[in-house]
Amino acid sequence: MDFTVLLPTRNRPALLQRALASVLAQRVDGLEVLVIDDGTTDPFAGPLAALKAARDQRVRFLHLPPRPHGHGQSHALNVGAAQASGRYLCFLDDDDEWTDPHYLACAAGIIDGPDQPVDLLFFDQIAFANGRRLEQTIWIEDLAQVLPPAMRPGPDGAWRVDAADLLRAHGFCHLNATIIRRDLFNEIGGFDNALRYECDRDFYLRAIDRARVITYLPRAVARHNVPDPTRRDNMSTLVSDTEKRFFQTTLLGKAILFSRQEVVRAFARRHHTYTLKHLATSLYKGRHYGLARQYALEALPVGFNLKWLAFCCWLGLLAAFDLRRPRQAAGQVPGG
């Protein structure tokens, strides 16, 4: 069996049905689909059970015990990966869909090519917000334009790239368009269960740091529906802006400490500084001056400039004179 598709879901059976149909439309043999139910609750449990009863033989359902807000994407995907039979793991969010029925067949052609074994395969996807296509670069759609002029794609249109090449791009490849060899997934330890935001970015940095053969095919294979910020049923809307910055500093700090390649460490150091500055600014806007000063000072040595130094001094003054504001409870992270 070549491919196992991991499809985590929680309380969205109607969206899951559409996502699952797009997976089963793939024109490829050797397909296994694992739907990981992260504790779906009433009134969604009934429709999910009906979907399970009508399933294709290629589909297995795994059920995690109920828990407030679920166990999270990382845990659900790790549980699925532990049960997978395929040599390669693929991913799809339950509110998205694959749009190219030849996606996995194309990937199989690359896997069976001269580069053996292929560790990572990256493709593109298209983003929509409120039904409108977003035209700006979001992930690695610009990669082919920023690669060195001497580089050329192979006969199949795929580029052989490495971590340094990938980090030239605007962003990182979304999981919907990522395929990883299961042995490499196990080697890097899968997803970080402690991250409730941008666990995919953390996974991407660790994967490209360790992978030996990486291919990129500039072909849109999926549709990503940008979450509605007013809803609270998505990983990116369950946490506050301040918590998001905290998770970002955590994953980038890990990359600085544990990456094997200097190019990945350098990328993480640079973006860690940017994130600390964003975190300090967010805390400042929330009137948490002491915490804002702490993170602003942490960013100062790497991202030094006179304007940021002045901001640090200003935060120090505000923190010193902010005597009437009650202290945050120990261990409490202020909301965004």
- Give the tens place of pLDDT for each residue, 72-87: 999 999 999 999 999 9
- pLDDT above 50 for 331: no
Using one digit for the tens of pLDDT, what is the confidence trace for 108-146?
Answer: 999 988 878 999 999 999 999 999 999 999 999 999 999
Q: Which residue shows structure tokens 């039904």?
A: 131
pLDDT band at 234 (very low <50, low <70, confident <90, very high): low
Lowest pLDDT segment from 135-149, 159-173, 293-307: 293-307
Give the residue, 222 or 285, on which the prediction is more confident.
Answer: 222
Which residues lie below 8 Å from residue 271, measured CB to CB, with a gap of 6+?
252
Q: How far are the Cα atoms of 101, 179, 208, 220 from residue 106, in angstroms, in the given order?
A: 10, 12, 21, 12
Adjacent-strand bridge partners of 179: 90, 121
List, for residues 250-296, the tens digit of each pLDDT value: 999 999 999 999 999 999 999 999 999 989 998 899 888 999 999 99
- For each of the domains in the chain, give its residue range(s) and CATH number, in order of start: 3-225 (3.90.550.10), 241-321 (no CATH)
In this prediction, residue 330 carries a pLDDT of: 40
- Name every residue whose Cβ is closer than 8 Å to that of residue 4 and which is 6 or more positions away in sequence: 32, 33, 34, 80, 81, 84, 85, 86, 88, 89, 90, 182
